[in-house]
Amino acid sequence: MTFRLTFCSLIALAAASPAIAEPVFNRIASFATADNMAEGEDRARATSAEIMTATADGMELIYSDSPLNAIGLIDITDPNAPKPIGNIPMDGEPTTTVVLGETAFVGVNTSESFTQPSGALRSVDLKTKALTASCDLGGQPDSVAISPMGDMLAVVIENERDEEVNDGAIPQAPAGYVTRLTIKDGQVDCTSQQIVELTGLAEIAAEDPEPEYLDFNAKGDLVVTLQENNHIVVIGADGKVASHFSAGMVDLDGVDTEKDGKLDFTGSLKDVPREPDTVAWIDNDHFATANEGDWKGGSRGFTIWNRDGSVVYESGASFEHEIVRIGHYPEGRSGKKGVEPEALKFAEFDGEKLLFVGSERGSVIGVYDVANPAEPSLKQLLPSGIGPEGLVAIPGRNLFASANETDLGEDGAARAHVMLYERAEGEAAYPTLVSEGEELIGWGAISGLAVDPQDKSVLHAVSDSAYEAAPSIYRIETASKPARITAAMVVSKDGKPAEKLDLEGIASDGQGGFWLASEGNPEKDIPHQILHVDAAGAVQQAVELPADLTAQSTRFGLEGIALDQDGKLWMAVQREWKDDPKGQAKLLRYDPASGEWAGVRYPLEKGEGWVGLSELAIHDGRIFLIERDNLIGQAAVLKQVTAVSLDGLEPAPLGGDLPLVEKTLVRDLIPDLKQWNGYVQDKVESLAITSDGTAFTATDNDGVDDASGETFMWSFPVGTQTASVN
């Protein structure tokens, strides 16, 4: 409850007092790990950015790239324009890197199997990029930490289990442990290894400890998480176990517990094991854990502990609730571990004690003030790439960075990225859209917008098939920044959520209800149709497209719907259907009074991938359309708003030749999409224009399914017509 009120109050404060300036983090750059590939290498090959660190001067970032069996280096001398330095092969899978002076120490997994784990600690000269030493660790390393004095390295030897054996349950020998190595004259002494045994401590599978992560405090004490054992161990500076305790259980209320295509936060989970992953000291007496969960649990939040094992603060479901409010909740993970907090970092910026918590599945990073560890307060939620795995704080340069491991490039989607953020006075650029109110409103996959006819500062939006079990209409108030979703209603039929809908467009009917466009998909028996719903979202009429027309259809159907002043409806078909000339898509017109259909053809641009229409709106005698390619990131070329004049436009009856319209370019949207300094999103899918010519547009975040979850909503004047583009 504390976090929710804090975040909502911050939104209200920003709206009421925009002149108040306090330091905030904003993303200033992103770096695709594929950019570190050498000339001639296959850039489509999977790469990754997992655990990451920075050099002492904060001018370089070093991340582990397990698909390439290498570490990647980035020059951030100019953090607004990161540059590739390249990859250094590790002859094995790198896990964690730490840096002392000009030497990087890299944990490398060389295991041949789960039952015969092996690994090494490799030393790399950062000037020459050469491997200078390698210590055999006797097992599979994961986390590596360096002591505050720079005189010792500690390595978690996880010896992880095989998840295909016994449903991933432990015990599975061999057991893991922690090893400590002395550093002399800047180099590791391989002969100095001191093994700290962890067997016999945990209540769960005591004979098979699987340590996951560790961290030094200023006194030289280590805290270690045993994720699968649901246990935590504190090792003193003398190398002996000082204390250990169960990570315990959590009760969760107000959570979505089923993967069922709807956002329902009325469920509860009882006695959920925390199963903590990352751990970070806040001071010498307190540390925090990110409770990702594993084979048995995952409490969807984080915990702040006293070193004696007593809980100082438990976030419960509050962290997840804040992620819900910004549209980043991964509904597809509801039956498992929800947002899965995994990454964690503590740092002080100008005396401000901050804890950064990364949600692996929500692809967002929470920033908390933990000056009082018992009462943390949420300051910000930062957009990330997909799957933030490693977090780096560089307070001396007011910088923060995240390593995001998921690479979908082989499927033409987003690449793995490193994101850079700068702390400065100003306003937070993200989120651009949040939900608020006493009731928790989940949302995502915004795919259509319409202006409220009674209040031009209010928009209505629909969600697409990402939430097929509960197709919804949202009310959005745009007068404040960020814009606010204040209500949601499910589209219903006969008192139940309407089925077989893929809503892609919405238009006000001028009488309190709406016209909706459902894209349709013959492959899934979803009809191409438009629906008239009342003010409560109940379907009053469903109109399927003419049979002769749908016989030529594909799964790329209706995208957007708008009501003209003459009472007729216009719709855009996303791409060519079977009866369309190549490079042309239909604009359809329907007269609700007569039931007559007519249409024209729209000339699509040529491009890589495919090019199609995503939305349309009518304003000042013109049809405005979003035309885009389906490409993302650096590959994206075409995201634009065009206009077609209604003056003299005569649609023809369907079934014959349809006239080809002329279009004019109104706005290139790619510069707009770059303003948040992430990668260019592919799905610009919403457009609404107020009576004064202000256009609102938004991106579809795909319901956070193989996507970063970022929804960008912004506005601009549509202005006057520009040169023809056909």
Q: Report, as an integer, the average pLDDT of 492-514.
A: 96
Tokens standing for residue 622: 């013109």
Residue 168: pLDDT over 80: yes
pLDDT tens digits, one per residue of 151-161: 999 999 999 99
Q: Report, as an integer, the average pLDDT of 316-332.
A: 98
Residues 6 or more apart in contact with residue 164 via CB below 8 angstroms: none
Residue 11 is predicted with a pLDDT of: 44
pLDDT tens digits, one per residue of 360-394: 999 999 999 999 999 999 999 999 999 999 999 99
Residues 6 or more apart in contact with residue 510 via CB below 8 angstroms: 453, 563
Give the DSSP letter of residue 90: -
Q: Which residue has the tokens 């892609």?
A: 504
The answer to whether residue 26 is domain-embedded is no
Residue 723 is predicted with a pLDDT of: 34
The answer to whether residue 382 is domain-embedded is no
User: Which residues, in sequence order, are bridge partners of residue 178?
Assistant: 156, 196
Tokens standing for residue 382: 């930062």
Amino acid at 675: Q
Which of 408-422, 423-437, 614-628 bottoms out in mean pLDDT, i.e. has the lowest?
408-422
Residue 39 is predicted with a pLDDT of: 86
CATH number at residue 457: 2.115.10
User: Which residues, in sequence order, are bridge partners of residue 664?
Assistant: 643, 724
Q: What is the mean pLDDT of the chain?
A: 94
The answer to whether residue 700 is domain-embedded is yes
The total number of residues shown for the chain amounts to 726
Tokens standing for residue 312: 């100082």
* Residue % of the chain over a pLDDT of 90: 91
Query: Which among 336, 271, 341 has a CA at the least distance from the CA of 304?
Result: 341
Residue 721 is predicted with a pLDDT of: 38
- Number of domains composing the chain: 1
Q: Report, as an integer, the average pLDDT of 44-58.
A: 95
The answer to whether residue 540 is domain-embedded is yes
Residue 623 is predicted with a pLDDT of: 98
pLDDT tens digits, one per residue of 580-630: 999 999 999 999 999 999 999 999 999 888 999 999 999 999 999 999 999
Residue 315: pLDDT over 80: yes
Residue 7 is predicted with a pLDDT of: 42
pLDDT tens digits, one per residue of 188-237: 999 999 999 999 999 999 999 999 999 999 999 999 999 999 999 999 99
Residue 63: pLDDT over 90: yes
Residue 12: pLDDT over 70: no
Residue 724: pLDDT over 50: no
* Residue % of the chain over a pLDDT of 70: 96
Question: What is the C-alpha separation between 73 and 515, in angstroms, rounded?
Answer: 52
Q: Report, as an integer, the average pLDDT of 694-721.
A: 91
pLDDT band for position 412 (cuts 50, 70, 90) = confident
Residue 19: pLDDT over 90: no
Tokens standing for residue 641: 């708003």
Residue 20 is predicted with a pLDDT of: 56
The residue segments making up the domain with residue 653 are 434-717
Query: Which among 12, 32, 13, 28 has a CA at the least distance from the CA of 418?
Result: 32
Residue 346 is predicted with a pLDDT of: 98
The answer to whether residue 605 is domain-embedded is yes
pLDDT tens digits, one per residue of 439-457: 999 999 999 999 999 999 9
Q: Report, as an integer, the average pLDDT of 458-482.
A: 96
Tokens standing for residue 343: 């990454």
Amino acid at 561: I
Residue 6 is predicted with a pLDDT of: 42
Question: What is the C-alpha separation between 638 and 4, in angstroms, rounded?
Answer: 38
The answer to whether residue 319 is domain-embedded is no
Residue 18 is predicted with a pLDDT of: 45
Residue 44 is predicted with a pLDDT of: 85
Q: Report, as an integer, the average pLDDT of 705-715.
A: 96
